[in-house]
Amino acid sequence: MKKIPKSFIFLFTVLIIYLIVFFIKPTLIYSSLQMFNKIIIQFSYAFIVIFILTFLSNKYITKEFILKYFNKKGFKKWFFIILAGIFATGPIYIWYPLLQEFQQKGLKIGFIACFLYNQAIKIFLLPILLIYFDIKYVIILTVVMIVMSILQGLIINRLIKNQNEKNI
């Protein structure tokens, strides 16, 4: 018994409970399986969209692509940094060395903060978010996060600029 993994013990326990319930009240099992099917179908569409978006971003958003657009000026730069943050995949700590390289090449720290802030908006998870919440909520949440990322970037740029001027 000790050699059997706990996950298998849990699985067998659930199966036994399902069998007991099936013999006591079979309609309950049928409704449970219908609900399971409905959930699987609902999420399968979202997972297909997530897979396609992840594939496309990993294929086309390269370091060179990012560097090209981080050198833009004004609104275009903010716009691209927001999009880059939203479409950036993987854990956030993987981006730190690349962002440090960008900072050494002259990218202001406020833009880096904006990029990191927008990593919280996962375009790949929006289909699942829409399943659970209303579209108005998702749009408002996304817009507020984008606006706050810009404000945060501007504030950090201003504070760092003032701090650098005092240190000189």
Supply the pLDDT for residue 168. Answer: 37
Query: If you write DSSP's letter for every residue of the chain in order, what string do you get?
Result: -TTS-HHHHHHHHHHHHHHHHHHH-HHHHHHHHHHHHHHHHHHHHHHHHHHHHHHHHHHH--HHHHHHHHT--HHHHHHHHHHHHHH--S-GGGGHHHHHHHHHTT--HHHHHHHHHHTTS-GGGHHHHHHHS-HHHHHHHHHHHHHHHHHHHHHHHHHHHHHHHHH-
Q: Residue 54 and residue 150: Cα distance in Å, rounded? A: 25
**How many residues appear in the chain?**
168
Token pair in block for residue 144: 């507020």
pLDDT band at 131 (very low <50, low <70, confident <90, very high): confident
pLDDT tens sequence across 19-48: 999 899 989 888 888 988 888 887 787 778
Supply the pLDDT for residue 162. Answer: 62
Q: Residue 44 and residue 46: Cα distance in Å, rounded? A: 5
What's the mean pLDDT when you consider all of the chain?
Answer: 83
Supply the pLDDT for residue 152. Answer: 94
Terminal-residue alpha carbon distance, the chain:
70
pLDDT band at 114 (very low <50, low <70, confident <90, very high): very high
- What average pLDDT does the segment 143-150 reach? 95
Give the percent of the chain with pLDDT over 70. Answer: 88
Give the percent of the chain with pLDDT over 90. Answer: 24
Supply the pLDDT for residue 167. Answer: 42
Is residue 91 pLDDT above 70, yes or no? yes
Q: Residue 123 and residue 130: Cα distance in Å, rounded? A: 11
Where is average pLDDT lowest: 64-78, 114-128, 150-164? 64-78
Angle, alpha carbons 66-70-71 (nearest 5°): 125
- What average pLDDT does the segment 99-107 reach? 82
Which residue in the block uniquely carries the two structure tokens 């404000």? 151
Residue 71: φ, ψ to 5°: -90, 0
